[in-house]
Amino acid sequence: MATQQVLNIGWLNALNAKKVILASSSPRRKDILSNLGVNYTVVPSTFPETLDKSKFNHPSEYVKANAYYKALEVYDRLKSTGDTPDLVIGADTVVAYASQILEKPKDEQDAIRMLKSLSGSSHMVYTGVTLIAPPSDNSDTPRIVTEVEGTEVMFQTLEDDVIEAYAKTGEPLDKAGAYGYQTTGSLLVKGINGCSWNVIGLPASKLFFMLKDFTAEP
């Protein structure tokens, strides 16, 4: 991913003077956040992501909840050690097809199954993003905002040998929906409607302006 020029603007400079935590070890999210010009430290969340999907009316609500709990786990953990961060950024991404949530495949065969279901059709990629910061008043309640971005992805009609060859690369195994748009998986994609960064792991533009608005709040 090419490095972008960092914008020299007041709120971003102020943010970079603070302790910002990314609650994810995802290389894709690290790249995107770095390209936004944000200085940060990685503290991966230990939230188990075992929420019951059937309790949510829509995949977007599910990713918002996961992003919230990931960020909150890191915020509370650091606060308990006396090292309260100025800002924690949590995120979660899922692929949704025919109202079914597709997360990371369990193994190669599961990846093949997912890719066959996506072949020749459209699906949605949802990323939830949560920002958590200490309270701005004397309360004990942290400041929290959570938003979600959806991107439509259209797949090529894929023959079995293409699906199987891609699955054997191992690339699908750590990707929601069993493909990585930023690498070889882009060959499977016919088109995108919406934010392409969102498919990779963070909605860059949305997050940038979330950070701007959040930083401006008293």
Active site residues: 92
**Got the DSSP string for 147-180?**
EEEEEEEEEPP--HHHHHHHHHTSGGGGSGGG--
Helix axes 27-35, 204-216, angle to 10 degrees: 60
The C-alpha atoms of residue 42 and residue 23 are separated, in whole angstroms, by 6
Of the candidates 154, 94, 172, the one whose C-alpha atom is nearest the C-alpha of residue 127 is: 94
How far apart CA 202 and CA 191 sit, in angstroms, is: 18
